[in-house]
Homo-oligomer: A and B are copies of this chain.
Amino acid sequence: MRELMQPSKDEIKLVEVLHALADPVRLTILGRLADSGRESCSGISETIDVHQTTMSHHYRVLREAGLTWTTVEGRSRYVSLRREDLNERFPGLLDAVLTPLRAG
């Protein structure tokens, strides 16, 4: 199968991170990952009422921007938040976005 494009820490770009953050569904995914650490894409998608094709697009935007790691295990994909990489690249950004999200 094809390799998934995932930027190295130093390749993560501020504008792309901000673009990836600027969507309510992607913020919901990130909020879940902030709590759970790591989840299967199918598990997350089950709880979000968005078409599968659209969800795949959101996972790709998050991965390519460097917000999430994606691993493929058998037929499943798992995503996790790249919290340490993001905190090193853009200190405080992730918390500044996730905190108001929790507050609703």
The chain A residues found within 8 Å of chain B, CB to CB, are: 14-15, 18-19, 21-24, 27, 89-93, 95-97, 99-101
Contacts and interface: CB of A to CB of B under 8 A. Distances in A.
Given A14-B97, A18-B22, A90-B100, 11 more contacts: A14-B101, A15-B22, A15-B23, A15-B24, A18-B18, A18-B21, A18-B97, A89-B100, A90-B96, A93-B96, A96-B96
A26 to B, nearest CB: 9
Per assembly, the copies of the chain total: 2
A93 B97 contact: yes
Contacts of A15: 22-24, 27
A103 B101 CA distance: 27
Contacts of A95: 92
